[in-house]
Amino acid sequence: MTTYKIILAYLSIVIGIIGYIPYFRGIFSGKTKPHAFSWLVWSLLVGITFAAQLTSGGGAGAWVTGFTATVCFIIFLLSFAKGDKHFILFDWVALGMALLALALWRVTNDPTLSVILLTLTDALSFLPTLRKGFYKPHEDSPILWALTVTKWTLSMFALQSFSLVTLLYPVYLIIINAFFTVLLIVRKKQVAV
């Protein structure tokens, strides 16, 4: 493994930590209210993707995926005490679809198909957070999501091998997090507190 890939991996983790500091501060102050369903599914998906990346030769680029899975699980746990506790039918349907996609992944046992299904599942699990961000943009932090774009971009260049299995999920995360960052910024300007 080359030194610059290790440096990029550590840098992406440091950026992740920097991004999560204001997010956690917002959770504990009551300004940020994470959506429990999204963070539960993300912790599972990112954890499984981490395992798939490791077994497919992702190397140091996969480290940020493991770090992110751990943080997602911590935020999921915090969301019960400090997060959004208002769940609508849409949230339950999104969770059900995410769990169904996870079950399909388990049946296929194919790393490429698995990562495709995991990415689709992640997109479904993001829907409640997108909905909440649209209606309550002041309850989330665009800083976290913007730094997340940077974190995943660096981690992508830290990957030891480039394939659909190792690249699909980070590329998707760059796109969805950039979109959500812009959504929050625009909606915060449109919706006065």
The total of structural domains in the chain comes to 1
Domain that holds residue 99: 3-190
Q: Give residue 150's pLDDT.
A: 94
* Distance between CA atoms of residues 58 and 164, nearest Å: 11
When pLDDT is averaged across residues 162-172 and rounded to a whole number, the result is 88
What is the model's pLDDT at position 126?
84
Write the pLDDT tens digit of every residue in 46-71: 888 888 788 878 888 889 999 999 99
pTM passes above 0.85: no
Handedness of CA 100, 102, 106, 109 (dihedral sign): positive
pLDDT (average), residues 176-185: 96
16-31 pLDDT, tens digit each? 999 899 889 989 998 8
Flag whether pLDDT at 77 surpasses 80: yes
Q: What is the pLDDT of residues 102-125, one digit of tens each?
A: 677 678 777 777 778 888 888 887
Q: Where are the alpha helices (DSSP H) in the chain?
A: 3-29, 36-55, 63-82, 89-108, 111-135, 142-158, 164-190
Interacting residues of 62 by C-beta distance below 8 A, sequence separation 6+: 50, 53, 54, 155, 159, 166
